[in-house]
Amino acid sequence: MRSCIPLLSILLLSIAACKSSAKEEKKTTGAGAQRPPSRVDAYVVTPKTLIQDIEMPGSLAPFEETELHPEVAGRVTGIYFNEGSNVSQGAVLLKLYDGDLRAQLNKLQVQLKVAKETVVRYEALLKISGVSQQEYDLNILAVNNIQADINIVQTSISKTVLRAPFSGKLGLRNISIGAYVSPQTVVSTLRKVNLLKLEFTVPEKYGSQMKTGNPINFTIDNGTKKYTAKIAATENNITADTRTLKVRAIVDKPDPLLIAGSFVKVEIGLGKNDNALMIPSQGVIPRARNKEVILYNGGVADIAIVTTGIRDSSMVEITSGLKAGDTILITGLLTTKKGSKVILNKINKP
């Protein structure tokens, strides 16, 4: 019985040793195993000619536009324009009732005539000391006061006439003869249509290239004909929300098809670059702080931080971080890390 116990102990120790040996062998095998190289597609960075154009949405607006309001309240006695007609600067468009003001003006003109005659008589009496200098001065003051009152009434009468502030085309008429209007009443709208403004925005990085006098092309929505405009001015700050710059261009002698308020597509030429480095868009890995690409370096993957420029439907410009002749990976990006071994399955060249 005693001899069986040592034998049992030896047996248990042997089994434990075998299990431990098996675990160590498995652990050693797992740790020493290396992942096989990934097969990926690559792209050789080659300089190419890039015509740098951007397309932005924009809208047309009248060169000048204003709502026409009477300066004072009153009853309309005359309308001297037709809807949609062209008018010249200073043309009379509307007349309000001014009978009461003209009656005041006639009364003041009579008073002025009498006051002037009185001044003439007092001037003669002053020469012979028939009146004092003070009495003469008081009559001169009365003449001046009446003349000032006449000027006030004449100004009020002029406010009953609405004139065109500039030459342009009128819109629809909103009032009729006999209507009572106030300064809040919109009589019509006046637009200067022999010139048009084209307004659009560009990304912040292109703001410095929007120089006054530079030509731009644009097309109207669903149209193929190209029109030309010249940059007139830019806003003096970048919009914080969108990081864009507002630009205004002038369309000289616009085509009848160009209507204020129309949506247009603006094409802006930014120049030509004969040595642009373009790579497929899928080769760029966006990160929180930068953008990366995976370089192929003698069978091993490496990471390069890049700066991008102009994009199109499938390619993106690299402005820094790569040089001509570099080979980048365009597949297997999610599983390939820095230092991973890779085998090139297919090499694409532009």
* pLDDT score for 12: 56
Q: Please tell me the CATH code under which domain 38-50+274-348 is placed.
A: 2.40.420.20
Residue 281 phi, psi (nearest 5)? -60, -35
Confidence of residue 14 (pLDDT cuts 50, 70, 90): low
CATH architecture of residue range(s) 71-97+160-186: Beta Barrel (2.40)
Tens-place pLDDT, residues 92-138: 999 999 999 999 999 999 999 999 999 999 999 989 888 899 999 99
Residue 332 phi, psi (nearest 5)? 70, 25
**Which residue ranges make up each domain of the chain?**
38-50+274-348, 55-63+192-272, 71-97+160-186, 98-158
> 84: phi > 0 → left, psi -120 to 50 → alpha, else beta; which?
left
Q: What is the mean pLDDT of residues 168-193?
A: 94
Cβ atoms of residues 139 and 115 within 8 Å? yes
Place domain 98-158 in its CATH homologous superfamily: Helix hairpin bin (1.10.287.470)
Q: How far apart are CA 243 and CA 205, in angstroms?
A: 9
Tens-place pLDDT, residues 261-281: 889 999 887 777 788 899 999
Tens-place pLDDT, residues 31-53: 444 668 888 999 999 998 887 77
- pTM for the structure as a whole: 0.59
Neighbouring CB atoms inside 10 A of 191's CB total 17
CATH class of 55-63+192-272: mainly beta
Q: What is the mean pLDDT of residues 83-90?
A: 93
